[in-house]
Amino acid sequence: MTSGSIHLNTDIKERVSSFLVGDRKRKKIGDKVFHGLVLGTAAYTLFIIVIVVFSVGVGSAKIFSHEGFIGFVTGTNWNAVEGRESYGALPYIIGTLMSSGIALLIGVPMSLGIAFFLAEMAPSRLSSPLSFVIELLAAVPSIIYGLWALFVFRFLIKDWIETPLYNTLGPYIPFFNQAPFGLDVFSAGIVLAIMIIPIVSSISRDVMKAVPDTQREAAYSLGATRWETSRMAVFPYGKSGLLGASILGLGRAVGETMLVTLIIGNAIGPSAIPTTLFSQSQTLSSLIANEFNEASSDLQLSALIGLGAVLLILTLIINIGARLMVSKMVKVSPGVRE
């Protein structure tokens, strides 16, 4: 029995070691293939950016050579009549900035209020489900926001916000002096504000929660109220994060398309420049969506892609600008030195 089992052991040992030797070769090839595969896909994501820039560049080449880049960005025409074609992006740049600006003005304070509630006020049993509900707002597709805004919300805006403003401030301030009917840059701004609330408030809440409790205790021990503690110890500490959250919100508002097409009034050309709060207007993305499939000439199509190029540049500026700002502020970031 003993000698037999020794034989068995040597035999197994040989089989295992020959397997391991052959396996090493297989391993090497397998690993190389795998490494190549994942590297390739990662590089592909890099490549996508190249594709994006390339596509937009190629598509807009025609309009930029026709109008010149500066000419296009500062022009206000939108004339598709053959022989007199001329296109300019300025009204839509202004429309984009104004609607997003309104969205930030309304949405950021609301988001901070919500984040303050979730981070500082709510008992833990409430904050979890509440956060979930707010994030549900983010899951709703923008086209459904548009549907609701077009058929339901705009009447509420018109009756409860716009008309009172027009009646009280219109006579004195030209900016408010246009009879509102609900489809205008202001309405777009308000609904955009609702759209950016989930992202701005959830990031802000995380930023606030990340502030160490020792900071709050320091403030409380001096007799601060809850609000004073946030003002003194929480907000300054999380300044850069809060700013970053708002900028992300801005980026979202700028890129928003479908909702805007349904509620901004769809003006074209020079009349799309919003002169009052209740003007009909147009954003870069909404015009592209509205006209792309009906473009009557190559030049017009190129002009629409040109709008896309401007939008792309705008988004990149916001994105990169945000990073720079946040990284500058991070230098204030604390850490006990010892």
Q: Which of residues 106-125 bind other proteins (CB under 8 A)?
A: 109-111, 113-114, 116-118, 121, 123-124
Q: What angle do CA 102, 108, 112 make, to 5 degrees?
A: 160
CB of 279 vs other proteins, minimal distance in Å: 21
| b/e per residue 34-48 (b: at least 16 CB within 10 A) | eeeeeeeeeeeeeee
CB of 160 vs other proteins, minimal distance in Å: 13
Nearer to other proteins, 276 or 302 (CB): 302
Which token pair is 56? 């937009």
User: Quick count: other Cβ atoms within 10 Å of Cβ 157?
Assistant: 21
Question: Per CB under 8 A, which of residues 115..174 are in contact with other proteins?
Answer: 116-118, 121, 123-124, 130, 132-148, 150-153
- Angle subtended by helix axes 124-139 and 185-210, to nearest 10: 140
Give the DSSP per-residue string, 242-261: HHHHHHHHHHHHHH--HHHH
> Binding pattern to other proteins, positions 298-337, x when CB under 8 A?
-------x--x--xx--xx-xx------------xxxxxx
Q: How many residues bind other proteins (CB under 8 A)?
A: 114
Question: Per CB under 8 A, which of residues 50..69 are in contact with other proteins?
Answer: 51-52, 55-56, 58-59
Question: Per CB under 8 A, which of residues 229..258 are in contact with other proteins?
Answer: 232-233, 236-237, 239, 248, 251-252, 254-258
Q: Single out the residue of 200, 37, 237, 207 nearest to residue 106, CA to CA.
A: 200
User: Quick count: other Cβ atoms within 10 Å of Cβ 331?
Assistant: 7
Q: Is the backbone of residue 77 left (phi > 0), alpha (psi -120 to 50) or beta?
A: beta
Question: Per CB under 8 A, which of residues 254..283 are in contact with other proteins?
Answer: 254-258, 261-262
Question: Per CB under 8 A, which of residues 190..209 are in contact with other proteins?
Answer: 194, 197-199, 201-202
- Which stretch in 1-9, 157-165, 169-177, 222-230 sits in contact with other proteins by CB under 8 A? 222-230
User: Does residue 285 belong to the site contacting other proteins (CB under 8 A)?
Assistant: yes
